[in-house]
Amino acid sequence: MRKYILLVMAIMLVGIFVPSQYLVQADTSLTLKVLTGSDDCLRRLTTSQWSLTGGTLGVGFFNTSQQRYIVGMRFDNASIPVGGNITSAHLSFQAALSYTADNVNSKIDAELGDDPVTFADSAVAFDARFANRGVKVTWDAIADWSAGSKYESPDISTVIQEVIDQDSWTSGDAIVIFWEDYDDRSTHTGNCYRNCISYEGSGAEPELHITYTVPSGPVNVSTVDAVGKATISTCDNVSWSVVVTLDQIN
């Protein structure tokens, strides 16, 4: 999905336009999914557990021997150009089971480094990757979850922006996200836990939704009609044009 924003640098009257060049920002939305079984995993630090093939993923406090969970998710082919500005981003999950105990407190962060590969079947290798993460966004006091319903994380634009701002970033690289309660901040109440379907579950694997802008101008604006509809095309005669209406601009 793409919208276009004109940054006006000339006088425009109703039905009359003084020809000029404009900059255009293309607003693009991506939906990325976990694409294979080795692209999501579950790690537990208390009474150590590692799973690359389980049907669910989750964080929180389950009981005294099951806590401090880390979920790893890899989203391949993130086609965000170098220089992109992330305007919104969030994760979405489908709840595997119903959990209502308060308070599940977690963080979301990302692996830093060159185009991260899929996960090896090794807790040691995972722990090394988890240590190399950056900006964190808290997702605390997670609301009650009902089995089969979908839920969204808070905005994680800062997490994604840090990844694509790396010097090594190339459009189409993978992004690895961690959803974790590494610091054991969830309330120690039985079943104070939230879990979701993994890739191996029922076809409702985790998703990463990103919206970004990249300046794509300058462009020529050839006409503007009485209701403010403008026809634009690239200045270097690239063979495409778009129509921009005022409700898209505002």
Q: Where are the domains of the chain?
A: 2-27+218-249, 34-214
Section 54-74 average pLDDT = 95
Are 141 and 102 contacting, i.e. CB atoms less than 8 angstroms apart? yes
Provide the total of helices (H) and of strands (E) in the chain, helices listed first.
3, 18
Q: How remote is the C-alpha of 144 from its chain's centroid? A: 22
Mean pLDDT, all residues of the chain: 83
Q: How far apart are CA 219 and CA 232, in angstroms?
A: 6
Q: What mean pLDDT comes out for the span 99-106? A: 95
**CA distance to 36, 37, 65, 121, per residue, from 52 (Å):** 11, 7, 20, 6
Helix (H/G/I), strand (E/B), else coil: 133: strand
pLDDT at 230 over 80: no
Paired strand residues for 194 = 59
pLDDT, tens only, 122-171: 999 999 999 999 999 999 999 999 999 999 999 999 999 999 999 999 99
- C-alpha to C-alpha distance for 43 and 38, rounded to whole angstroms: 13
| Contact (CB, 8 A) for 52 and 186 | no
pLDDT bucket at 216, cuts 50 / 70 / 90:
low
User: What is the model's pLDDT at position 27?
Assistant: 81
Residue 222 pLDDT: 56
Where does residue 206 rank: exposed (0-12), middle (13-18), buried (19+ CB within 10 A)?
A: buried
